[in-house]
Amino acid sequence: MKLKLTTIAFLVAALPATVLAQSTSRIDERQANQQRRIDEGVKSGDLTKQEAERLQEGQRRIQKMEDKARADGKITPEERRRIEQAQDRESERIYRERHDKQTAKKHEPRYDTKHAKKHDKWQDQQASSRIDERQANQQRRIDEGVKSGQLTKQEAERLQEDQRRIQKMEDQARADGKLTAEERRRIERAQDRESERIRRERHDKQVARK
């Protein structure tokens, strides 16, 4: 019976991280799908250069909303609703722009993919910086937990092992000189889970003995 109760308690504690991972995964998948629709519109000529640029700006604004919401290690239901509502509006704009009477003329300059790639590189640098800052912040939380006695030696060692594993993921992702959107999402989801573990370990009933 005691083992059963322990298992239930663990599952309940792990639930917030699971819900967060699922909600952010849905947001990321939808962002990728809407980006494909824009790219297809450019390729087919359904979107003019100006329409594509406006839609790309909308995509960047939504990504910025998600990054800001993730910054503290969690996305609240209200933040998730705001992001999904923004995605709803963006989806409607993509449909409307692709089905209006404006089409790219044969000799009209298409959406500047070189400029897009430069912006993607800048976003990659920003994402890498956010990952590093979050790693440093989570390390501080572990150190504070050790100092305050909230973390036992064994808990701290487990959390440090997780930190090393995430760092290894990042190093492997950076090995080819770039961090793809999928690699970034995997690392950020791992950081979400680690953040929840740190919170849980620091607030359980185990404390370091003097």
**pLDDT score of 9:** 52
Element (H, E) at 111: none
Contact by Cβ (8 Å): 32, 88: no
Q: What is the pLDDT along the chain (210 residues), one digit of tens a residue?
A: 555 555 555 444 444 555 555 566 788 888 888 888 998 888 888 898 889 999 999 998 998 888 888 777 778 899 999 999 999 999 999 999 998 877 766 555 555 555 555 555 556 666 777 788 888 888 999 999 999 999 999 999 999 999 999 999 988 888 887 778 788 888 988 998 999 999 999 988 776 666
**pLDDT score of 126:** 67
**pLDDT score of 181:** 79
Its pTM stands at 0.50
Q: Nearest-CA neighbor of 49 among 38, 64, 62?
A: 38
**pLDDT score of 72:** 75
**pLDDT score of 11:** 47
Residue 49: which residues within 8 A CB-CB, separation 6 or more?
104, 108, 109, 110, 111, 112
Element (H, E) at 101: none
Q: Nearest-CA neighbor of 75 among 10, 27, 135?
A: 27
**For residue 26, which amino acid is it?**
R
Cβ atoms within 10 Å, residue 187:
22
